[in-house]
Amino acid sequence: MSRTFLPLPRRLVPAVAVAAAATLVLAGCSSSSGGKKAEDADSGVSAGKATTPRMTIAMVTHAPSGDTFWDTIRKGAEVAAAKDNVKLIYSNDETAADQANLVQNAIDQKVDGIAVTLAKPDALKDVVAKAVKAGIPVIGFNAGMSEWQKQGLLSFFGQDETISGEALGTKLDDTGAKHALCVVQVQGAVNLEQRCAGVEKGFKGKTDKLYVNGADMPSVKSTITAKLKQDSSIDQVVTLAAPVALTAAQSVDETGSKAKIATFDLNKELIAAIKDGTIEFAVDQQPYLQGYLAVDSLWLYKNNGNYMGGGEAPILTGPAFVDKSNVDAIGVFAAKGTR
Amino acid sequence: MGMTQQAEPAVTTPPASGPGMERDGRTKQRPLALRLLARPEIGVFLGAVAVFVFFLVAAPPVRDGSSMANILYQSSTIGIMALPVALLMIGGEFDLSAGVAVITSALTASMTAYQLSMNVWVGVIVALVVSLAVGFFNGWLLVKTGLPSFLVTLGTFLILQGVNLAVTKLVTGNVATDDIQDMDGFDQAKAIFASSFDVGGVQVKITVVWWLVFAALATWVLIRTKYGNWIFAVGGNKESARAVGVPVTFTKISLFMLVGFGAWFVGMHQLFAFNTVQSGEGVGQELIYIAAAVIGGCLLTGGAGSAIGPVFGAFMFGMVQQGIVYAGWNPDWFKAFLGVMLLGATLINLWVSRTATRR
């Protein structure tokens, strides 16, 4: 074995030399502003570590990979797991059938608890029943407000998408908007449709819907630009994700439209945009809290038999509004990607 | 069969602008109009004109200059990638990793510059190297293993998708890159990759200019250079091409690297236009690039096509996508409209070229 590996480092020598030389050259090209150096070296939330026996919790979501919102949920779950001496197994799949398989996988691993999102409740019904039958405590979060109780889940942490949409719609009335455009970045996603439906319900003015391709930002930008051009009476854009909101701001700017922008969900760039007034306000459902509470409450149930909501009521994590008045307080946390 | 495909390069060189068969003396020269119609890009040109006129009538806002600039912008971001993808298809191969490769490039540039606190140009150069390397890897693996490009690039498509996410998370702790707007060199890079300029009061994106420049360049390469002939030759019949001395390995690998270059360019545009990149983006775009090339008259089997065709193909795509919005149609049907219009346009394309080549 060692014979086959020995020549390798020798061949690597020139490569290493080139890399080293490149580093030296690059050192002369440092940016004097921004960048990692300028970022605070703040670590995340930490609260020591519990001395309870090690346990395993599976978190199974319907999240698409690489989405900032879901990453925040996962961060909350990871921090709670670290604190509670929990081994967290995180898995996700957008397809309902595959998500059900992942839950089955967790049952097979004989985990001590499962936290699951019920975005497509019917598809997960059987497998959740199996977990409950196997004596594994199951907690719902983020999606499944109307179903968690029927399926025998212990608790539910999340926001009702329709209610939060309504709250946003009502708030638009206060700002004097007359004609809103609800931008959906994934066609056919139930929770996104509910948000738009909620906005339409709460808002006294007219609400139009627009589908954009969330996987391609240039296309998001030109599609919103096209819509603002097509209907100049639109004076309010509502987006359902923070990156889309920031792109919508560019579209509004380019078309010279008077439209204001409100959005669901936060990220750190969005915080800056709220500060400088580009984005009017954001509805925050506190994804970090959802992930954190899901893990923490399973730990508490295992160790002390407690469960929140008493099996009757869901625990609401939103909607909370973030606007100029409170953005500074929240911005500190959002900058770390935890809020 | 191999011989007729071999004859394809001759078809696209301007002096011989008709099917090779008419040169055998048994038929007389066909009328110029028909010979023009037989060219691969004419069908798509007419299709694009049809779609354009349709929306000009159906959607009044399209008549405005700034709407046109917006449509061209959307077309250009598809079109810049559709060009190398089309060349690769003429060369007989596919690249399914083209969509996520764009994001890989943007992520590389952004993270390199940000994490090392370097001038953004350092990131831009590193991203170029990475993109070319991905293209080289695709081509090299294809040539070495003899596997179909569908399989090889499906592999890289999945690998890049995972790497994009995992590395971004590993390096930044988040799934999106940090804002690099305030860093040195950003404004320069933005001027090149993502600025806009004024044409009679209308803001036109610079990507539109790049798109047309690249298209002109690709056309020149295809019909005027030896390399262009090599592309047609390796796409028509690899073995005969090799037999007549075409460097097949070099041609294939370099074509994949050209796609890498395109991915880099579009990736840089996305980075400097939007300041940050989400690692999950780009999936599905590869099919749009391939669609633009196919609508533009490039054969799925290789050996035939042009660089101008995909320009109209991308324009048609951008036109339909934005036209539906300008027309204010029910958005629930958006994707269905898009599909029907594309099929319709492609059928016109097919019908025109069949009618024109019928004898």
A247 to chain B: which residues are within 8 Å by CB? 274
- Cβ–Cβ under 8 Å, residues B290 and A233: no
Q: What is the CATH number of domain A161-284?
A: 3.40.50.2300
What local confidence, expressed as pLDDT, does residue A43 receive? Answer: 45
- Higher pLDDT: B133 or B344? It is B133
- Higher pLDDT: A49 or A89? It is A89
- Above 50 in pLDDT, residue B128? yes
> Between A242-255 and B248-274, two packed helices, what is the crossing angle to 10 degrees?
80
In a mutational test of the A interface, the residue from B279, B334, B335, B338 whose CB has the highest number of chain A CBs within 10 Å is B334
* Interface membership of A23 toward B (CB under 8 Å): no
For chain A, where do the domains classified as CATH 3.40.50.2300 start and end? 55-159+287-318, 161-284
Q: What is the mean pLDDT of chain A?
A: 86
CA distance A207 to chain B (A): 13
Host H or E run for residue A237: strand A236-239
Percent of chain B clearing pLDDT 90 (strictly above): 55
- Above 50 in pLDDT, residue B341? yes
* Number of inter-chain CB pairs under 8 A, A vs B: 160
Q: What is the pLDDT of residues B213-243, one digit of tens each?
A: 999 999 999 999 999 999 999 998 888 999 9
CA distance A263 to A244: 9
- Cβ–Cβ under 8 Å, residues A298 and A112: yes
B332 to chain A: which residues are within 8 Å by CB? 209, 211
What local confidence, expressed as pLDDT, does residue B219 receive? Answer: 95
Say yes or no for a CB contact (<8 Å) between A67 and B185.
no
- Higher pLDDT: A31 or A315? It is A315
B278 to chain A: which residues are within 8 Å by CB? 66-68, 243
Average pLDDT over residues B327-342: 78
Say yes or no for a CB contact (<8 Å) between A71 and B335.
no
Interface of A with B in 148-207 (CB under 8 A): 184, 187
CA distance A125 to A152: 10
Host H or E run for residue B323: helix B308-326
- Higher pLDDT: A108 or A318? It is A108
Contacts with A336 (C-beta within 8 Å, 6 or more apart), sequence order? A40, A42, A44, A268
- Above 90 in pLDDT, residue A282? yes
* Interface membership of B179 toward A (CB under 8 Å): yes
**DSSP secondary structure letters along A59-106:** EEE-PPTT-HHHHHHHHHHHHHHHHTTEEEEEEE-SSHHHHHHHHHHH
User: What confidence tier does A42 reach under pLDDT thresholds 50, 70, 90?
Assistant: very low
What local confidence, expressed as pLDDT, does residue A15 receive? Answer: 60
| Alpha carbon of residue B296 to chain centroid | 10
What local confidence, expressed as pLDDT, does residue A22 receive? Answer: 60
- Higher pLDDT: B13 or B85? It is B85
Q: How far is CA B56 from CA A196, A222, B49, B61, B68, in A?
A: 30, 18, 10, 8, 10
Average pLDDT over residues A309-313: 84
B184 to chain A: which residues are within 8 Å by CB? 31-34
Q: What is the mean pLDDT of chain B?
A: 86
What local confidence, expressed as pLDDT, does residue B6 receive? Answer: 41
* Dihedral angle sign, alpha carbons of residues A101, A103, A107, A111: positive
- Above 80 in pLDDT, residue A129? yes
- Above 90 in pLDDT, residue B340? no
Question: Which chain A residue's Cα is nearest to B284?
Answer: A215
Average pLDDT over residues A300-304: 92
What local confidence, expressed as pLDDT, does residue B178 receive? Answer: 87
* Interface membership of B318 toward A (CB under 8 Å): yes
- Above 50 in pLDDT, residue A185? yes
Average pLDDT over residues B95-104: 96
What local confidence, expressed as pLDDT, does residue B4 receive? Answer: 38
- Higher pLDDT: B253 or B23? It is B253
Q: What is the pLDDT of residues B198-215, one digit of tens each?
A: 988 888 999 999 999 999
- Cβ–Cβ under 8 Å, residues B311 and B289: no
Q: What is the pLDDT of residues A112-121, one digit of tens each?
A: 999 999 988 8
Interface of B with A in 195-234 (CB under 8 A): 203
* Interface membership of A36 toward B (CB under 8 Å): yes
- Higher pLDDT: A258 or A64? It is A258
Say yes or no for a CB contact (<8 Å) between A35 and B117.
yes
CA distance A209 to chain B (A): 7
User: What confidence tier does A269 reach under pLDDT thresholds 50, 70, 90?
Assistant: confident
Q: What is the pLDDT of residues B140-179, one digit of tens each?
A: 999 999 999 999 999 999 999 999 999 998 998 888 888 8
- This model of the complex carries an ipTM of 0.75
The verdict on domain B34-357 having CATH code 1.25.40 is no
Average pLDDT over residues B59-74: 90
Q: Which residue has the tokens 């919102």?
A: A69
User: What confidence tier does A16 reach under pLDDT thresholds 50, 70, 90?
Assistant: low
* Interface membership of A337 toward B (CB under 8 Å): yes
Which CATH code, of 1.10.3720.10, 3.40.50.2300, 3.30.413.10, 3.60.20.10, is assigned to A55-159+287-318? 3.40.50.2300
